Amino acid sequence: MTERCRRLQRTMTASGLHACLITQNVGLYYWSGSMQSGYLLIPAEGESTYYVRRSLNRAIGESGVKTVPLGSFRAFGDTLARDYPELFADGRRPRVGADLDVLPAQTYLRLQEAAPNVELRDGSAVMRQVRSVKSASEIALIETAAKAAAAALDLALGRIREGMTELEVMTILEGEMRRYGHIGLMRMRGYNQEIMTGMVAAGEAAAEPSYFDGPAGGRGLTPAAPQSASRRPIGAGEPILLDIGCCIDGYTIDQTRTAVIGELDDELSRAYDVSERILRRVESLLRPGASPESLYAEALRLADEAGLAAHFMGFGADQVRFLGHGIGLEIDEWPVLARGFSEPLEAGVVLAIEPKFTFPGRGVVGIENTYAITADGYRTLTTSPERLYRLPFHP
């Protein structure tokens, strides 16, 4: 916790902030070790304080930083001035970066009212930048999740039969991963973005678009959950997209494999081969100093060269504009392999890279691995074998 706070302190100082205020659960956990309701103040210099509303006793037992009761929220500004007089020296109104990308507007207004002596600014970029570089222990947790996902996939592949529904396959995957300690959800930072344990979808159902910001949505069970697995039976000769994640001790692996009962037609099979070719090419460029947007541009070039640009990462108006994303405590972490992300990769960055091709009315094919950037290249954290899984017919 101390080293994480120091890294944030160095970054906020360079950004002209006097402190950061962490309000979101994932950020609270990352910088304190506890996910109890409250606010964590990390000054540019000095000791952090975790002001807890509930449950204080549990937070004290879990937290790695100074932990105290929040007290009166209306007097929060006075509390900060009392605990951090140096921030308010000479009548200064300190610039405090908050996680405004996720902070509800109502809570933001209440904070402004409770602490008018503080100038709240958007500190989400510095927070996400710090969290993008993982420690060895964080990467080890992602690897643990990868092993659980691989075991679950192996079990499910051995049980898939023609006529089995997508939901039935998903229950096999989820049940097995829960046995390994999967917490049952994968957190997302994006507003109104949710995710189940990933996606199992076959044929045209996989190609149905949804609000989910990804190359494949899935039909889902109902308009109240319009993504991922449905009750559609799986047929022979159609692509089965197995895009699953597993979250153990808060850290998530993200991987995709494609399967088929029997054989895919030539066009879909070729598209799958191109997805592997794109992944191999991007792997050859993965190293510290590589630009995320240049990796995305190279993937676009290869998809266009193969005559598949119109199907790459979605179709038509529903195409997404990225190739991969950072991953850790949240699915949608920084950096993103997309235009506008020019900051070079660093050792410790963990990326999920997912070249996929969508064919409306027919299905989605592709592959996804999670990688850790190392000092001289990368290490693949996903352990499931890479291939198009051709499953036998069973009467």
Nearest Cα residue to 281 out of 262, 268, 299: 299
| DSSP of 348-374 | TBEEEE--EEEETTTEEEE-BEEEEEE
Mean pLDDT of 363-391: 98
Give residue 395's pLDDT: 64
Cβ atoms within 10 A of the Cβ of 189, count? 19
Mean pLDDT of 120-141: 98
pLDDT digits (tens, 9 = 90+) for 58-102: 999 999 999 999 999 999 999 999 999 999 999 999 999 999 999
Q: Who contacts 34 (Cβ-Cβ below 8 Å, separation ≥6)?
A: 28, 50, 52, 58, 59, 62, 63, 67
pLDDT digits (tens, 9 = 90+) for 11-37: 999 999 999 999 999 999 999 999 999
State how far the Cα of 207 lies from the Cα of 48, in Å rounded to an integer.
Answer: 47
State how far the Cα of 200 lies from the Cα of 230, in Å rounded to an integer.
Answer: 8
Answer whether 131's CB lies under 8 Å from 328's CB. yes
Answer whether 346's CB lies under 8 Å from 133's CB. yes
pTM value? 0.96
Give residue 134's pLDDT: 98
Q: List domains and CATH numbers for the chain.
A: 2-131 (3.40.350.10), 136-391 (3.90.230.10)
Mean pLDDT of 278-307: 98
Give residue 149's pLDDT: 98
Give residue 291's pLDDT: 98
Structure tokens at 346: 């660093």
Give residue 196's pLDDT: 84
Helix (H, G, I), strand (E, B) or coil at 283: helix
Residue written as token pair 């690897």:
143
State how far the Cα of 143 lies from the Cα of 151, in Å rounded to an integer.
Answer: 13
Mean pLDDT of 134-160: 98
β-strands 19-22, 95-98 pairing? parallel
Give residue 217's pLDDT: 87
Structure tokens at 225: 């959950």
